[in-house]
Amino acid sequence: MDSYRERAVVILSGGLDSTTCMALADCRGEDIFALTFAYNQRHIREIESAQAVARHYGAHHQIIDLGAVFAASALTSAEIRPEVASFLGAAGVTPLDATGRAETTPLSMPASIPATYVPARNILFLAYALSFAEKVGARRIYTGVNALDNPGYPDCRPEFIAAFQRMIDVGTKAGTEGRSVEVFTPLIEMNKADIIRFALELDAPLHLTLTCYYGENPACGECDSCRLRLEGFKLLGQSDPISYRKG
């Protein structure tokens, strides 16, 4: 453990977004403690990707088993099919402004929450990461929530992150002593193309990542997550370094 570097906790799934957060933490010279949560997700191979990413950065890495906690979701049950969320539109991307960034106008919640919503997942992830951060003396928790997630998932929206931060400030020893742990969301206003561009600038090991909801390798190329990723690379005129069955 390096006592001369500021410590940070990264919630690392093994997907593109969290790997970009890992790359940023590494670029900032932080001593990285990566937490990967196993929650009976169908895309279990993403955990193998998380292990590979953690090794790439020489990070401290723990896999936390929360499988008994979560109720049925398209990410945990083979009986529920993931679908492309209708609020993303035909192209599977959020609207862009003139600079090519995601529009930041507040979006209303869709009429129904996507089937891929896992009940209170980010609440539990952040709570565990917070407890861990206090234990190891980390001052920052990285989480890869972003503009594509905001409309569909209530625990990915800026309002939720702000509320969780307030809870940390008043409900933890560190917070009440003026040393509050920060929930850091560097991707919160980015769409998938933004994130990929940022990841490439950081030289993130995107070839190690897996984002497919079905956990297939090669990735399916058809699920919501694959389509968003492929569209992001297409918008940038870049090739995705992972293999796809379709796409």
pLDDT of residue 106: 41
20 known member of a binding site: yes
Query: What is the band of 26 on the pLDDT scale with cuts at 50, 70, 90?
Result: very high
Whether residue 18 is annotated as binding a ligand: the answer is: yes
| Nearest CA among 86, 230, 245 for reference residue 152 | 86
Per-residue pLDDT tens digits for 138-164? 999 999 998 776 567 888 899 999 999
Rounded Cα distance between 191 and 198, Å, is: 11
Question: Does 225 appear as a known binding residue?
Answer: no
pLDDT > 70 fraction of the chain, expressed in percent and rounded: 77
228 is in an annotated binding site: no
pLDDT at 213 over 60: yes
DSSP letters, the chain, are --TTS-EEEEE--SSHHHHHHHHHHHHTT-EEEEEEEESS-S-THHHHHHHHHHHHHT-EEEEEE-TTT----TTT-TTS-----GGGTTTTS--B-TTSSBP-S--PPPSS--TT--TTHHHHHHHHHHHHHHHHT--EEE----TTTTTT-GGGSHHHHHHHHHHHHHHSHHHHTT-PPEEE-TTTT--HHHHHHHHHHTT--GGG----TT--SSB-S-SHHHHHHHHHHHHHT---SS-BS--
Q: Above 60 in pLDDT, residue 131?
A: yes
The answer to whether 27 is a known ligand-binding residue is no
pLDDT at 19: 99
Read off φ and ψ for residue 38, nearest 5 degrees: -100, 120
Euclidean distance between CA atoms 20 and 198, whole angstroms: 8
The predicted structure's pLDDT at residue 2? 52
Taking the C-alpha atoms of residue 181 and residue 175, their distance in angstroms, rounded to an integer, is 7
17 is in an annotated binding site: yes
pLDDT score at 112: 66
Is 126 labeled as ligand-binding?
no
User: Which architecture characterizes domain 7-236 according to CATH?
Assistant: 3-Layer(aba) Sandwich (3.40)
Q: Where are the domains of the chain?
A: 7-236
CA dist., res. 138 & res. 9, Å (int): 7
Is 212 annotated as ligand-binding? yes
Give the angle 184-24-11 at the CA atoms, nearest 5°.
55
pLDDT at 136 over 70: yes
Q: How confident is the model over 50-77, as pLDDT tens digits?
A: 999 999 999 999 999 987 766 544 444 4
76-120 pLDDT, tens per residue? 444 444 454 443 443 344 444 444 444 444 444 445 677 777 788
pLDDT value at residue 65: 92
The per-residue pLDDT for 150 is: 56
**Structure confidence at residue 176 (pLDDT):** 96
* Contact status, residue 189 vs residue 102, Cβ threshold 8 Å: yes
Is omega for the bond preceding 218 within 30 degrees of 0, making it cis? yes
Question: What is the model's pLDDT at position 239?
Answer: 97
Nearest-5° angle of CA 177, CA 180, CA 183? 170
To the question of whether residue 156 is assigned a binding role by annotation, the answer is: no
The mean of the pLDDT values for the chain is 84
Mean pLDDT of 189-211: 97
Residue 148 annotated as part of some ligand binding site = no
